[in-house]
């Protein structure tokens, strides 16, 4: 399965696609490294952004993994390029079965530059219960600004999952949603940020599950959640 549509784009766009392929391929290696996926499950995508100095670029391309390919085989060249209708633009393989969901998020959340989906054990267990992960850790207040919400049940293959992601996260500070009976999807300013959110979602889902085996976790006051979130998002780190 090959298409040559990318050859019709300007050189600056093709260069941006090549850089994005490198990034997305490298970030896929983080999913098994952090224990977030098994076999060929899961996917990372990133919106293609052209350096403004090179002139105007497309707002309609994403890079994502091909469907059913093992992580050891996910080289930059193996990545596929699609438009925001989920149509293949460049690549030798069929795109991920979640491509339509990713594309829908990019279409309807312009600030999102990266999307990740995993089947990580603890976060997916909460999704199987249809239960949000409560915000009872400062780490969670920092990263998610509240609970990790539950999204609706949706079948794979069209943009139904994407619609559920957007509907759930549009008015939420959380970069993660647990799609009911399915698993976590995360968003970020780029793919690296979305991968971080996926790692953090699994960590807090695991920790809070363990805490609940010992008793009822102690909630954090909403005002303190707000304060922690503001500090972490605006002050923490190297700016």
The rounded distance, in Å, linking the Cα atoms of 231 and 2 is: 47
The rounded distance, in Å, linking the Cα atoms of 184 and 168 is: 12
Residue from 90, 102, 117, 159 carrying the catalytic annotation: 117
Strands 176-179, 183-188: parallel, antiparallel or unpaired by DSSP?
A: antiparallel
> By three-state DSSP, how is residue 127 classified?
helix
- Is the separation of the CB atoms in 147 and 133 below 8 Å? yes
Assess whether 119 carries a catalytic annotation.
yes
Handedness of CA 68, 73, 79, 80 (dihedral sign): negative
Of the candidates 132, 124, 125, 134, which has an alpha carbon nearest to the alpha carbon of residue 183?
124
> Looking at residue 71, what DSSP letter applies?
G
Residue from 73, 92, 224, 236 carrying the catalytic annotation: 236
Residue 52: both structure tokens together: 């403004």
Residue from 98, 104, 106, 182 carrying the catalytic annotation: 182
Residue from 15, 60, 119, 226 carrying the catalytic annotation: 119
- Counting every residue written for the chain, the total comes to 239
Q: Which residues are catalytic?
A: 117, 119, 142, 182, 236
């Amino acid at each position: 399965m090959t298409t040559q549509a990318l050859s019709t784009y300007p050189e600056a766009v093709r260069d941006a696609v090549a850089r994005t392929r490198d990034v997305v391929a490298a970030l896929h290696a983080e999913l098994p490294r952090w224990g977030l996926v098994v076999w060929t499950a899961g996917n990372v995508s990133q919106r293609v952004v052209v350096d403004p100095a090179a002139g105007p670029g497309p707002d309609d391309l994403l890079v994502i993994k091909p469907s059913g390919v093992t992580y050891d085989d996910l080289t930059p060249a193996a990545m596929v390029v699609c438009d925001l209708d989920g149509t293949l633009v460049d690549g030798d393989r069929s795109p991920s079965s979640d491509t339509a969901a990713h594309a829908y998020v990019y279409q309807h959340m312009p600030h999102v530059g990266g999307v990740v989906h995993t089947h990580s054990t603890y976060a997916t267990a909460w999704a199987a219960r249809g239960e949000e992960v409560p915000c009872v850790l400062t780490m969670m207040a920092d990263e998610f600004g509240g609970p990790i919400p539950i999204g609706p049940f949706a079948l794979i293959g069209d943009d139904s999952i994407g619609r559920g992601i957007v509907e759930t996260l549009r008015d939420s500070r959380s970069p993660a949603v647990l799609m009911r009976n399915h698993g976590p999807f995360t968003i970020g300013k780029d793919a690296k940020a979305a991968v971080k959110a996926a790692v953090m979602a699994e960590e807090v889902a695991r920790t809070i599950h363990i805490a609940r085996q010992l008793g009822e976790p102690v909630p954090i006051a909403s005002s303190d959640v707000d304060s922690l979130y503001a500090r972490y998002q605006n002050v923490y780190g190297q700016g």
